[in-house]
Copies of this chain bind each other. A is one copy, B any other.
């Protein structure tokens, strides 16, 4: 059950950058049903955005040569294509959460949002 959706200028998976920090700024459009859960979410916070990488191929277990298990990689193609994106919130406008560099494409479902504590 998504809590919202990514709005980004990245349209296609093939456009997604290799390095997360190279992504463009984006907006997380949170569903109005969850507005109350945003109380205290503010500009300047570092958060993990958890996404469902909906274009992923889920029956891929190994990638590359030599073969490497997907659990040893950050490949989006994996049994449960969950994305973890560490971003900084730049503004909150109602249920629209503006964030810095994010490599997820437009339309990616958002599953959760939680503050970073230290390095995790």
Task: Give Cα A37 to B30, complex, Å.
Answer: 33
- Cross-chain pairs A/B with CB under 8 angstroms, 23 sampled: A1-B79, A3-B79, A3-B80, A20-B120, A34-B71, A36-B61, A36-B62, A37-B61, A37-B78, A38-B71, A39-B68, A40-B68, A40-B71, A42-B72, A71-B113, A73-B114, A73-B115, A74-B114, A74-B117, A78-B114, A79-B112, A82-B111, A84-B120
Q: How many residues of A contact B (CB 8 A)?
A: 42
Taking A37-B79, A50-B82 as known contacts, 18 extra A-B pairs with beta carbons closer than 8 A to each other, sorted by chain A number, are A3-B79, A36-B61, A37-B62, A37-B69, A39-B69, A40-B68, A40-B71, A41-B69, A41-B71, A45-B72, A48-B120, A71-B114, A74-B114, A74-B115, A74-B117, A84-B84, A84-B114, A86-B120
> How many copies are assembled?
2
